[in-house]
Amino acid sequence: MRVTLALAAAPDITSHPTDIVLVLDRSGSMAGAPLANVKLGAKTFLDILDEATDSSRDGNIGFGSRIGVVSFAEEAVDDTQLITSVDALKAAVDGLTAGGSTNHADAFAKAIALFDPASANGKVIVMFTDGKTTVGAPPAPVAAAARAAGIVIYCIGLVGSDGVDVSVLNEWATDPAVNISKPGATKIAIDEEVNHDFAIVSVSPPDKGCAMMVDAHRIKWTIDALGVTQNEGAALEFFIRHTGDTGGTKLVNRSVTYQDAEGNAVVFPQPSVRVDCGVVVNPERCPVPVDVTVDGCRDSLAVDLGDTYLESLGRIVQMDVTVKNVCPGKRVALAIILTEIDENGMEYQRGMKALTLPAHHYPTCRDVLVKCVKFVLPEDLDVSAGTPRSLCGPRNLKVRFIAHNIDTDYRCCEIVATA
């Protein structure tokens, strides 16, 4: 299985001017304390950027960067254009009142429209919102179009009518602000450990930096610099194999740690995979189907499907069985014995099949699922209680399975007895 580890970085706001749109949720669920906390968080964000752009909190966004404010409920509005006055931006934030539904799609659309396509500035949206979309179009395609146009999006989640911890809100507001104000990332070190149910098979050379396997479960990836002079991404691909004894849905990563010289924060996703540990054997082939196409407005179809041969008269019983703990390199002989029971409890042979299960080459023992073993029950041999020889009558059956290893490590040794 292939796993991809990826990250992106952009230059700092002082060397790479950036246009930022604050998108603030003022829907009805934000009334009271939630909206007050949004305002406090947004103004804290503005103070961080004020100081980061020119090393002083002088009330202006410096070095060519600009900030705008868009607020939204059932519709979104431009509360400011892209400007540099921190006082004007804070006044727009303070003027917000809560009420109405939540339309994230319109909020993204208004924020995108605020950017100047001809500007060389970087483009960032920072959205403060408390909940799910309640009106308007689905927001995901609009956000995807923004990302495809090179716009970076930060979403800061807030608790709505139940309020929010202001210190948590300030912490959320700080991370994107700090990341925007830092010079990309240098001296990057990523340490990934996969869960011990998986083993790393190989590592492809990354498109940035260098990577090495520490052991069968860990990879270290280092990059000297990323996003220092321009927006950059980096990706590392490696391949893993499942080595555990159990199946199910499993997380691939045990941990992924990131650090760089600037102290940037990076959150990686938690990929999972569905693992089926069993080996599946189909000992009997199904009949070859005949393809038939009904076209146009025809109400009926006559088609010659060729010849078929009568193999037996009776009902078909099809069964599956799982042979447990078949170890690698061992063939298995499997016998299936089918009998029918009459009203007095007597058993009558209805067939036996012996199958050879091919050896598997997984590193550990596996369960082997044997599928679609078929028996035909002729109706003239019906002895089950009920209406004899009736196609609708019940047939009372017993099935026995016997499995043995064909290949064993058993060896005879001669015993020498001395008096």
The pLDDT tens digits for 131-172 are 678 899 988 888 888 887 878 888 776 655 544 333 433 333
242 found inside a domain: yes
238 three-class SS? strand
In a shared domain, residues 163 and 105: yes
293 found inside a domain: no
Answer with the one of 139, 163, 181 that is the final residue of a domain.
181
Q: Do the strands 315-326 and 366-377 form a parallel or antiparallel pair, or are they unpaired?
A: antiparallel
Nearest to 3 by CA among 250, 256, 252, 222: 252
More confident residue, 379 or 68: 68
User: Can you give the pLDDT at residue 71?
Assistant: 97
Q: In sequence order, which residues have a C-beta less than 8 Å from that of residue 379 and are 6 or more positions away?
A: 313, 314, 315, 389, 391
User: Can you give the pLDDT at residue 60?
Assistant: 92
Kindly state the percentage of the chain with pLDDT values over 90: 37
How far is 38 from 96, CA to CA, in rounded Å? 10
In a shared domain, residues 68 and 167: yes
Residue 74, both tokens: 């059932």
In a shared domain, residues 68 and 141: yes
In a shared domain, residues 158 and 201: no
Beta-carbon count within 10 A of 321 CB: 15
Average pLDDT over residues 240-269: 84
Contact indicator for 391, 313 with CB cutoff of 8 Å: no
User: Can you give the pLDDT at residue 229?
Assistant: 67
Contact indicator for 115, 81 with CB cutoff of 8 Å: no
Average pLDDT over residues 387-399: 74
Query: At residue 286, does pLDDT exceed 80?
Result: no
In a shared domain, residues 212 and 173: no
Domain ranges, residue 78 = 9-181
In a shared domain, residues 151 and 206: no
272 — pLDDT class (breaks 50, 70, 90)? confident
Kindly state the percentage of the chain with pLDDT values over 70: 84
311 — pLDDT class (breaks 50, 70, 90)? low
Answer with the one of 124, 158, 181 that is the final residue of a domain.
181
How far is 85 from 60, CA to CA, in rounded Å? 5
302 found inside a domain: no
Query: At residue 221, does pLDDT exceed 70?
Result: yes
399: CATH: 2.60.40
In a shared domain, residues 61 and 195: no
User: Can you give the pLDDT at residue 108?
Assistant: 93
Query: At residue 390, does pLDDT exceed 80?
Result: no
In a shared domain, residues 162 and 221: no
User: Can you give the pLDDT at residue 175?
Assistant: 43
More confident residue, 290 or 27: 27
User: Can you give the pLDDT at residue 339?
Assistant: 92
User: Can you give the pLDDT at residue 85?
Assistant: 96
45: CATH: 3.40.50.410
144 found inside a domain: yes
Answer with the one of 181, 211, 229 that is the final residue of a domain.
181
390 found inside a domain: yes
In a shared domain, residues 173 and 193: no
| Rg, the chain, Cα only | 34
Mind spelling out the 3-state secondary structure of 32-67?
Answer: CHHHHHHHHHHHHHHHHHHHHHHCCCCCECCCCCEE
In a shared domain, residues 22 and 171: yes
Average pLDDT over residues 61-84: 95
332 found inside a domain: yes
In a shared domain, residues 169 and 109: yes
Please state the domain count of the chain: 3
For the question of whether the overall pTM of this predicted structure is more than 0.75, the answer is no
48 found inside a domain: yes
Query: At residue 389, does pLDDT exceed 80?
Result: no
In a shared domain, residues 165 and 192: no
Query: At residue 408, does pLDDT exceed 80?
Result: no
269 found inside a domain: no
